[in-house]
Structure 1
């Protein structure tokens, strides 16, 4: 009995001593313990996601990939897999597993090493949120105390949810949602048991046990997870056997971006950083919704890239990227065949086996749609190629017959007749894969391009492509490249002329200008392109045909300084507008964004809108923390308070809006309507083809392909064709297309006829109508598909009268010599034209169409 008594006293003493020691230790380190109350409001570091207006993911920014999930979104099988592996008694213990600690302590005594951590899931939450991963006794003690606090603060499900969303699982994936996407490209509810077991095995050593870096280790760890699930009854024997036998299929999956829009995404990233700061932007889990329309963005990307390839094809092939061998052999053998032949691994120089070729190609990154390939053999009209990704295929003659030699931007060699004139075995080349599965030879374009589309009613950016490929160049040509605009400037000069009492029927002499410049000691002789002059010409026709000398005459009529000031109404910086008459020919350097914004004034009836990209920003809970309030173009709205009577552009009383929401009116609705009418003629032309007076505008290709009467636009080409432009619109969409070389010394050159290509090929010198317009047409075809025509409504104060085509005066005849023309009320002609013959300056169908090929 004494022995029992003393043993009880000793036990109680030890217990009290231990308890006091624990209490003392707690109060000793309590000041160093973080406040676990923050877990109630803890916001997990989640990347910023950028979406289109219709919810398509454009990009994701942030160091950590995380997809926060609620417990009900996580499959029970995944929960059981983690519990079986990490802490099966999780729902039974108070945050510390005494049995696990005893087991770890015994292991330490037996081996002298810290092989088992005995950390419960709650303790891992404490470590992941508040502590480091260093293996020290003090860190373990802090884990224990923090775990007690956490268990008092949160429910078991709340703790488990934090754990499954926080835990690092390799390849920047944090939490099971991100891990499912990174390793399998799936959501958690789409995973198989085998895949779940792989993810559940990662917490022990994510960098070593993941299926990408070490499939064998991942398989062994998966077996352990499945075995534990079987032991605790979470799965049956049949499920275990099936999952354990499954192959390891994990591979890296990037963020599941729905639309490729890197230039747009970078613009958003910069704006969000300026708004929220870099740390908050990358970790706050914000969802940013842009004004981008996914249909339009996809169309813009295809239009820009496709147009650059088309330009590249007609200018010739610059040759292989690299030649890997040169002995001319067409034969390849595998390394296995070489061993059977007891020979070197190559009848080809330097041992280029199929295995070595594919290994080489795996190290060459694709460029957009271009895939690296190596030519294996060449026949008369085909080539066998090895393509990155392990594909051996045949490239047909139709995929490479375009590839005549490139000589210069102005000259190309003869069309090839055999495949051997184009490629050789050993050539590393670029290829494109088409929807039908056929391959075609390609090359990375040396020219570059840009396209931007705006909603003219509020300035929302609906599509933007800043260059051929963001991987090659992050330079955003839409917002950063200031290039000479050529004839894209003319509509604004004509707008100034209309403001200065000209009309679309005003007659200006299309005749050469020869002006002596005493300072330069030379004569300035601006010329039409081509150098064809038609004498007295109506303004509508002059703008539609892009007459250079008439643009100069209008500049002189308005006055250079007055014109420069007038152009600022469209958002142009007066300091960037030349102080000489070359302004009339487009010597000003502007960005595509500035040009598109200016054309939007015509499209929306006279208002200057501001381009914007971010519509709204939501926090992770879906609360809107930012909502854009763009200024809108609204002809039927009036600001509050109403305008004064002496305002330049009075507006009739209608729907009242806040002044901050109404875009400023910069030209009258009548002026915008008349310019649009003239630019519609640039697309559709005029006259009567039946009677021999028909003529084409510079953008006649748009009429032929789009077949819409609601479009208007203007081509633009600079001196020596270093820049080509097209800007066009209807009342719902405005877009500007540009193409040129980043190297300002190069011009777009010319293309001769290729005997291997069809009748529709573009030849001759490159101009806006040939080089920039095709991208605009392709974009508009897709963007406007299914939409009804949206013609600009005729505003009040516009009248229509029949005029004589030759003189612009009132017409007595109602035949092909006359037409109805629009005028601002009070500016219409009051005298009749005398009876005359047909206009001697009109040309026939064939000759005028040939001229239009070369017009600005």
Structure 2
């Protein structure tokens, strides 16, 4: 009995001392413990996401990938997998698991090693939110006290939700939502049990047990998770056996991007970073842009197709590199795939290695391991590139183009099994003949750069933006960063200045050669038309439509350089950067495609200057709008109503507010875009640019003529479009800018290397008669992308008749002289005039000419 009493006393004493020690430790550490109540309002680090106007994901920015989930959104099997593996008694213990602690302590005493963990899910939450991962007794004691406090503050479901959203699971994924997307490209509710088990096994060692880097170790860990689910009764033996035998299917998935707009995404990132700082990467902001998926996709495809077309007609520059030569042993398929894996993708372009060549086809292994064939029709374009102005002869066989061992760029055609291609002669694995073979076309990464931007002329919202062929190739955004000479794209603004000074569409200017001595340079300046055709006195409508260079020079001389520069500055062009000489009339000014598109918007919207913008609104992690763009809008009818109103406040308070017809909500006149030219001026310039697309004259009477943008009329077959080509000296830059109903688009192409010219392409005997040949210029080189985009951008938009402003009249004029006429034959036409500028004289005699007729307007 004495022995028993002493034992009980010792137990009591030990327990008392233990409790006293724990109490002392608690009071010692209590001041150092954080306030666990903050977990109720915890802000999980969530990346910033960028969306299109219609909700497509464009990009995601932030070091940590996380998709926060409510506990109700997590599948029951996933909850069971984590509980079985990490904390089977989670719903019954008070935050710490005495059984687990005792087991770990016994193991430590017996082995001297910390081989068994005793941390509950609640303790892991405490560690992940408040502590470090260092393995010390002090940290463990703090963890225990915090876990007890957390259990007192939060419910079990709240704790479990925090855990599942916080835990690191490898590849920068945090939380099960992100892990499901990263490893399987799925949402959590789409995961299978084997996939759930893989994710549930990751918390122990996300790097070592990663299913991508270490699939075998991940498979072993999956077996452990499934085994614990079996032990705890969550699954039966049959389910265990089936899941345990399942193949490992994890592969890396980036952010689930559904719309490619990387140049715009980078613009968003820079603006948000400037506005909100580094916190923008972690606070879960959702940024909604102004672009539409339909138009953005169309812009990307149009720009890439045009660049590839330009690039290919100038010849094939050869292989990227050579993996082996004819004298060397051919690499195995596995070695080839490994070599190709380091090469990036550029849009649809994929790296491929040539494994064999026949007379009219080549066989390839494509990055990723697929097998392919390039047929003759998909490579016969590839004559040798010599210079930007010279190409080699058309090839007659595949051997003239490629060598075995070459690494080239290819594009996939329709994927299909090609029964005519034997793959057994390629150095592949034993199951090579079971692989499907896809058709590819030979391609190459374009050397030239390009840009395409589309904006709404009503408020400046960017509808589509592509700054180059591929963001992987170059981060340089040519829409906003490439300041290039604009060539004839400047001319509509000169004509606008002329109309402001009282000239009209019917005014005559002399289209004759200029020969002017430049004292400063000691040479004669002889600007020439392109082509060098001169028509003598010519109406301004025709001169702009046919892009007569000498007429632009004469207009500048008539108006003066200062007048022209002051007028150009109204459109947002930087006044101090405009050349103060006559070369400005031919487009020597350097501007960005964004500046040009914005300025052309003033012709499309009736004379207002709108500011381009690309962020519509920003929402915080809770879906609250923290920023809403309020653009200044162009609205003719709004101005007319305001001009008539004695008091704007009274007007806004009227029943049946007449401003509602504008479909625009604003508080005062300051919400309207500034008017920079009159509606009449904008209309007249637009009419001249419409003739640049549709031409004029009477084809029946052999006086018909084309404007420089005639290809747009032929392709789009719409009368409500207008535009202007642009080509610089030596064709270093090619442009087309124009508009249709509520859409302004600028297309540019050129080399980032200012020394390179776009050159010319000779006839390729392997291609059909519709191929593009000759010198490159705006209508041939930049316009095709504009057309391809507009075919989609204006699809479904009804054709709209031109609406003349109320102060514009029409009178019949003689086409040769621009004077009034009483005739009504093909030598005359109706012309638009701002009231008060109509001609007052009648022509004495109508003379047939090569000018236009009224048929394109009436």
TM-score by length of 1: 0.93
Query: Is residue 715 from structure 1 mapped to residue 725 from structure 2 by the alignment?
Result: yes
Query: Is residue 765 from structure 1 mapped to residue 775 from structure 2 by the alignment?
Result: yes
Q: CA deviation at 1:434?
A: 2.5
Q: CA deviation at 1:375?
A: 1.4
SS of the residue aligned with 2:394?
coil
Any conservation in 2 of the 1:699–1:714 contact (CA below 8 Å)? Answer: yes
Q: CA deviation at 1:460?
A: 0.8
Give the Cα–Cα distance (whole angstroms) in 2 for the partners of residues 206 and 520 of structure 1. Answer: 72
Report the counterpart of residue 575 of structure 2 in structure 1: 574
Give the Cα–Cα distance (whole angstroms) in 2 for the partners of residues 86 and 358 of structure 1. Answer: 39
* Structure 2: gaps of 5 or more residues: 416-437, 647-656, 660-665, 854-858
Bigger mean CA deviation after superposition, 16-25 or 259-268:
16-25
Any conservation in 1 of the 2:344–2:472 contact (CA below 8 Å)? Answer: no
Give the Cα–Cα distance (whole angstroms) in 2 for the partners of residues 435 and 306 of structure 1. Answer: 17
SS of the residue aligned with 1:832?
coil
Report the CA distance shift for 1:791/1:41 in structure 2 as closer, same or farther (over 3 A).
farther
Matches within 5 A, 1:155-170: 155-170=155-170
Any conservation in 1 of the 2:452–2:746 contact (CA below 8 Å)? Answer: yes
Give the Cα–Cα distance (whole angstroms) in 2 for the partners of residues 212 and 174 of structure 1. Answer: 16
Any conservation in 1 of the 2:641–2:658 contact (CA below 8 Å)? Answer: no
Any conservation in 2 of the 1:638–1:657 contact (CA below 8 Å)? Answer: no
Query: Is residue 386 from structure 1 mapped to residue 342 from structure 2 by the alignment?
Result: no
Any conservation in 2 of the 1:803–1:811 contact (CA below 8 Å)? Answer: yes
1:533-591, CA deviations, whole angstroms, 9 ceiling, x for partnerless residues?
01111111100000001111111111110110111110011111100000000000000
Give the Cα–Cα distance (whole angstroms) in 2 for the partners of residues 500 and 66 of structure 1. Answer: 61
Query: Is residue 630 from structure 1 mapped to residue 631 from structure 2 by the alignment?
Result: yes
Q: CA deviation at 1:365?
A: 2.3
Report the counterpart of residue 408 of structure 2 in structure 1: 429
Give the Cα–Cα distance (whole angstroms) in 2 for the partners of residues 635 and 200 of structure 1. Answer: 62
Report the counterpart of residue 331 of structure 1 in structure 2: none
Report the CA distance shift for 1:545/1:641 in structure 2 as closer, same or farther (over 3 A).
closer
Report the counterpart of residue 508 of structure 1 in structure 2: 509
Q: CA deviation at 1:766?
A: 0.3
Report the counterpart of residue 418 of structure 1 in structure 2: 397
Any conservation in 1 of the 2:811–2:838 contact (CA below 8 Å)? Answer: yes
Give the Cα–Cα distance (whole angstroms) in 2 for the partners of residues 85 and 356 of structure 1. Answer: 40
Report the counterpart of residue 153 of structure 2 in structure 1: 153
Q: CA deviation at 1:9?
A: 4.0
SS of the residue aligned with 2:38?
helix
Q: CA deviation at 1:663?
A: 0.5
Query: Is residue 673 from structure 1 mapped to residue 683 from structure 2 by the alignment?
Result: yes
Give the Cα–Cα distance (whole angstroms) in 2 for the partners of residues 91 and 521 of structure 1. Answer: 94
Query: Is residue 837 from structure 1 mapped to residue 838 from structure 2 by the alignment?
Result: no
Match of 2:336 among 357, 369, 376: 357
Q: CA deviation at 1:29?
A: 1.2
Report the counterpart of residue 527 of structure 2 in structure 1: 526
Q: CA deviation at 1:520?
A: 1.9
Report the CA distance shift for 1:92/1:639 in structure 2 as closer, same or farther (over 3 A).
farther
Any conservation in 2 of the 1:326–1:426 contact (CA below 8 Å)? Answer: yes
Give the Cα–Cα distance (whole angstroms) in 2 for the partners of residues 210 and 367 of structure 1. Answer: 28
Report the CA distance shift for 1:5/1:638 in structure 2 as closer, same or farther (over 3 A).
farther
Any conservation in 2 of the 1:96–1:144 contact (CA below 8 Å)? Answer: yes
Query: Is residue 123 from structure 1 mapped to residue 112 from structure 2 by the alignment?
Result: no
Any conservation in 2 of the 1:601–1:607 contact (CA below 8 Å)? Answer: yes
Q: CA deviation at 1:351?
A: 4.5
Match of 2:388 among 392, 402, 409: 409
Report the CA distance shift for 1:34/1:684 in structure 2 as closer, same or farther (over 3 A).
same
Query: Is residue 326 from structure 1 mapped to residue 336 from structure 2 by the alignment?
Result: no
Give the Cα–Cα distance (whole angstroms) in 2 for the partners of residues 737 and 128 of structure 1. Answer: 51
Any conservation in 2 of the 1:639–1:657 contact (CA below 8 Å)? Answer: no
Give the Cα–Cα distance (whole angstroms) in 1 for the partners of residues 537 and 642 of structure 2. Answer: 48
Report the counterpart of residue 274 of structure 1 in structure 2: 274
Q: CA deviation at 1:250?
A: 0.5
Any conservation in 1 of the 2:704–2:851 contact (CA below 8 Å)? Answer: no
Give the Cα–Cα distance (whole angstroms) in 2 for the partners of residues 644 and 654 of structure 1. Answer: 11
Any conservation in 2 of the 1:545–1:696 contact (CA below 8 Å)? Answer: yes
> RMSD of the alignment, in Å?
1.7
Any conservation in 1 of the 2:353–2:406 contact (CA below 8 Å)? Answer: yes
Match of 2:694 among 679, 684, 687: 684
Any conservation in 1 of the 2:696–2:852 contact (CA below 8 Å)? Answer: no
Matches within 5 A, 1:221-370: 221-278=221-278, 280-327=279-326, 349-370=328-349
Report the counterpart of residue 142 of structure 1 in structure 2: 142
Any conservation in 1 of the 2:696–2:851 contact (CA below 8 Å)? Answer: no
SS of the residue aligned with 1:571?
coil
Give the Cα–Cα distance (whole angstroms) in 1 for the partners of residues 330 and 630 of structure 2. Answer: 64
Report the counterpart of residue 481 of structure 2 in structure 1: 480
Match of 1:399 among 370, 373, 378: 378
Any conservation in 1 of the 2:263–2:467 contact (CA below 8 Å)? Answer: yes
Give the Cα–Cα distance (whole angstroms) in 2 for the partners of residues 435 and 296 of structure 1. Answer: 24
Q: CA deviation at 1:840?
A: 6.0
Matches within 5 A, 1:450-599: 450-599=451-600
1:684-739, CA deviations, whole angstroms, 9 ceiling, x for partnerless residues?
11011111011000000001111111110000000000000000112311011110
Any conservation in 2 of the 1:592–1:738 contact (CA below 8 Å)? Answer: yes
1:340-392, CA deviations, whole angstroms, 9 ceiling, x for partnerless residues?
xxxxxxxx614523332222222322222111111122211111122112222
1:416-474, CA deviations, whole angstroms, 9 ceiling, x for partnerless residues?
11111111212111111124653111111111101111111111111111111111211
Query: Is residue 703 from structure 1 mapped to residue 682 from structure 2 by the alignment?
Result: no
SS of the residue aligned with 1:821?
strand
Matches within 5 A, 1:28-67: 28-67=28-67
Any conservation in 2 of the 1:201–1:221 contact (CA below 8 Å)? Answer: yes
1:778-836, CA deviations, whole angstroms, 9 ceiling, x for partnerless residues?
11111111211244422110111111111111222212111111111111122222223
Give the Cα–Cα distance (whole angstroms) in 1 for the partners of residues 501 and 690 of structure 2. Answer: 22
Any conservation in 1 of the 2:182–2:254 contact (CA below 8 Å)? Answer: yes
Match of 1:662 among 672, 693, 696: 672
Report the CA distance shift for 1:8/1:640 in structure 2 as closer, same or farther (over 3 A).
farther
Report the counterpart of residue 17 of structure 1 in structure 2: 17
Give the Cα–Cα distance (whole angstroms) in 2 for the partners of residues 404 and 93 of structure 1. Answer: 76
SS of the residue aligned with 1:690?
helix
Query: Is residue 200 from structure 1 mapped to residue 200 from structure 2 by the alignment?
Result: yes
Give the Cα–Cα distance (whole angstroms) in 1 for the partners of residues 612 and 539 of structure 2. Answer: 34
Report the CA distance shift for 1:840/1:485 in structure 2 as closer, same or farther (over 3 A).
closer
Q: CA deviation at 1:49?
A: 0.3
Any conservation in 2 of the 1:596–1:727 contact (CA below 8 Å)? Answer: yes
Report the CA distance shift for 1:65/1:489 in structure 2 as closer, same or farther (over 3 A).
same
SS of the residue aligned with 2:229?
helix
SS of the residue aligned with 1:141?
helix
SS of the residue aligned with 2:393?
coil
1:290-316, CA deviations, whole angstroms, 9 ceiling, x for partnerless residues?
011111111111111111100011101
TM-score by length of 2: 0.93
Any conservation in 1 of the 2:695–2:852 contact (CA below 8 Å)? Answer: no
Q: CA deviation at 1:14?
A: 2.7
Give the Cα–Cα distance (whole angstroms) in 2 for the partners of residues 654 and 573 of structure 1. Answer: 37
Give the Cα–Cα distance (whole angstroms) in 1 for the partners of residues 273 and 681 of structure 2. Answer: 41
Report the CA distance shift for 1:263/1:791 in structure 2 as closer, same or farther (over 3 A).
farther
Report the CA distance shift for 1:435/1:595 in structure 2 as closer, same or farther (over 3 A).
farther
Report the counterpart of residue 338 of structure 1 in structure 2: none
